[in-house]
């Protein structure tokens, strides 16, 4: 499914764990288009769900992220997940060279 500039984001089927260096298979699914507010500014974003492909992975090792992508610039605006509490990573600043 192509949604603006996000087709490449949906095609990625693996990632390398930054902690263990292991390769994790994943599925990325488009959820919806939505407006989100970050630091008082409104953005138009595409929301995705990234999950582990392998259903037999231990619960604390499974990938299960919500990701908001700004489609025109292909910027990840926000990532959230729950593991030992709720975590959110939010883009705060862009430095252009």
Residue 8's pLDDT is: 62
User: Rounded to two decimals, what is the model's pTM?
Assistant: 0.78
Q: Could you give the residue ranges of the DSSP H alpha helices within the chain?
A: 7-11
The predicted-structure confidence for 13-55, as pLDDT tens digits, reads as follows 777 776 677 777 788 889 999 999 999 999 999 999 988 877 7
The radius of gyration computed from the CA coordinates of the chain, to the nearest angstrom, equals: 14
61: Cβ–Cβ under 8 A, 6 or more apart, which residues? 52
pLDDT at 78 over 50: yes
Check residue 35 and report its DSSP letter.
E
- The first and second tokens of residue 49, run together, are 């769900």
Instruction: Say how many C-beta atoms besides its own lie within 10 A of residue 37's C-beta.
Output: 8
pLDDT at 6 over 70: no
Per DSSP, the three-state class of 17 is coil
């Amino acid at each position: 499914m192509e949604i603006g500039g996000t087709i490449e984001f949906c095609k990625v089927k693996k990632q390398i764990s930054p902690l263990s260096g292991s390769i994790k298979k994943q599925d990325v699914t488009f959820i919806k288009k939505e407006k989100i507010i970050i630091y008082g500014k409104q953005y138009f974003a595409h929301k995705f769900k990234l999950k582990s492909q392998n259903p037999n992975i231990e619960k604390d090792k499974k990938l299960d992220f919500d990701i908001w992508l700004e489609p025109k610039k292909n910027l990840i605006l926000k990532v959230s997940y729950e593991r030992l509490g709720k975590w959110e990573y939010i883009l705060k600043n862009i430095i252009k060279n």
